[in-house]
Amino acid sequence: MINYPLHSNNYKKHKISGNRFLFLSLFLWGFLIIFFSNGLRYITTEVLATTQPAQEKTGYVIQWLGDLFNFTKIRNDYYRLKEKEKNFNQNTSEVSVLKNENADLYKLLNSDTNKFNILPAKVLVGDINGSDGIFIINRGLTDNLKVGMNVIIPENILVGRVIEVFKNYSKVESLNSINTNLSVFNRDKNFLALLKKDSSGSLVLKFYANDSQFNENDLFVTSSENQNYIAGLLVGKVKSISNTPLTNQKNVLVELFFEPSKLHNVFVITNYP
- Cβ contact 153:143 at 8 Å: no
The answer, yes or no, to whether residue 6 has pLDDT greater than 50, is: no
- pLDDT confidence band for 175 (50 / 70 / 90): very high
Average pLDDT, the chain: 78
pLDDT of 225 reads: 93
Amino acid at 103: A
The answer, yes or no, to whether residue 203 has pLDDT greater than 60, is: yes
d(CA 251, CA 243): 6
- Residue 56 DSSP code: H
pLDDT of 81 reads: 76
pLDDT of 91 reads: 63
DSSP string covering 3-53, please?
-HHHHHHHHHHHHHHHHHHHHHHHHHHHHHHHHHHHHHHHHHHHHHHHHHH
Section 103-127 average pLDDT: 71
Among residues of the chain, what percentage have pLDDT more than 90? 41
- Cβ contact 108:234 at 8 Å: no
Alpha-carbon distance values, 49 to 39, 53, 63, 223 (Å): 15, 7, 21, 103
Among residues of the chain, what percentage have pLDDT more than 70? 64
CB crowding 57-93: b at 16 or more within 10 Å, else e:
eeeeeeeeeeeeeeeeeeeeeeeeeeeeeeeeeeeee
Pick the more confident residue, 11 or 191: 191
pLDDT of 1 reads: 44
Q: How far is CA 234 from the centre of its chain?
A: 35
Amino acid at 240: S
pLDDT of 171 reads: 96
The answer, yes or no, to whether residue 233 has pLDDT greater than 60, is: yes
